[in-house]
Amino acid sequence: MEEGPQGSTVDLSRPRTPLRASVKLVSGIAIVRAEDGSVAVVPEDELCSLAERLNLVLEAYKC
């Protein structure tokens, strides 16, 4: 990945402020509800990479 004066593309797209989110697991699918009202539905095995990418602090789930 190419880096410019501001850092890498990944650094620029990652939110700087952590966002708290609750997780509900249903048959290997994680339903993530963030405090800003956003909702995501992802496979459980992708949950930790999503949390890292979007700077989420997951409640009641340990990566």
Q: Tens of pLDDT along 23-35?
A: 999 999 999 999 9
* Per-residue pLDDT, 13: 66
pLDDT at 14 > cutoff 80: no
Per the structure, the complete domain to which residue 55 belongs is given by 3-59
Enumerate helices (H) and strands (E) in the chain, giving the number of each.
2, 6
* Per-residue pLDDT, 58: 97
What mean pLDDT comes out for the span 45-49?
96
| Strand, helix or coil for residue 18 | coil
Is 55 in contact with 49 (CB distance < 8 Å)?
A: no
- State how far the Cα of 41 lies from the Cα of 32, in Å rounded to an integer: 6
Tokens of 45: 């095995």
- State how far the Cα of 57 lies from the Cα of 8, in Å rounded to an integer: 22
Domain count, the chain: 1
pTM (predicted TM-score): 0.74
pLDDT at 42 > cutoff 50: yes
